[in-house]
Amino acid sequence: GVWRHGWRLAGGHAAVCGGGASERDGRGGAGGGAKLKFVFGSSAIQALDLVDRQSITLISSPSGRRVYQVLGSSGKTYTCLASCHYCSCPAFAFSVLRKSDSLLCKHLLAVYLSQVMRTCQQLSVSDKQLTDILLTEKKEEA
């Protein structure tokens, strides 16, 4: 399932999320997956699903700018900036920024998990292309 596959991808990095090798058996309980779910709720399962489906792409430019794009379960692509803890999705705007219910959305959690698990797709673009990606995102939000 999602838990077993997600932790297998994590390999030796499971300790970062609080689980040791003996806890990666996929049964939940006091294992790492259960700890993630305890802290992040149902978005932990959804985030691990995004990681399993390789939905996260790190886009980098020669100037060192880094942006993540996450293909959401609805088919829409969201832009995440891990450096300043931001996602362009409506859930982030509502639950994180407006109501302060959550620490982060499933897309941002998926970005952080994919960094730890080293499962991001990588894409190098020019500085102008990266600027165009960000400007396109801004127009779609308006």
Query: How is the chain split into domains, by residue range?
Result: 2-141
Burial class (CB in 10 A: 0-12, 13-18, 19+), 67: buried
**pLDDT 10s digits, 14-45:** 222 333 333 333 333 345 667 777 777 778 89
Average pLDDT over residues 39-56: 89
- Crossing angle for the helix pair 43-52 and 106-117, nearest 10 degrees? 50
Q: What is the mean pLDDT of residues 6-18?
A: 31
pLDDT surpassing 90 at residue 95 = no
How far apart, in Å, are the Cα atoms of 97 and each of 35, 86, 88, 91, 94? Answer: 24, 9, 11, 9, 6
| Residue listed under structure tokens 């999320």 | 17
pLDDT the model gives residue 30: 43
Alpha carbons 1 and 28: distance in angstroms, whole number: 11
pLDDT at 122: 96
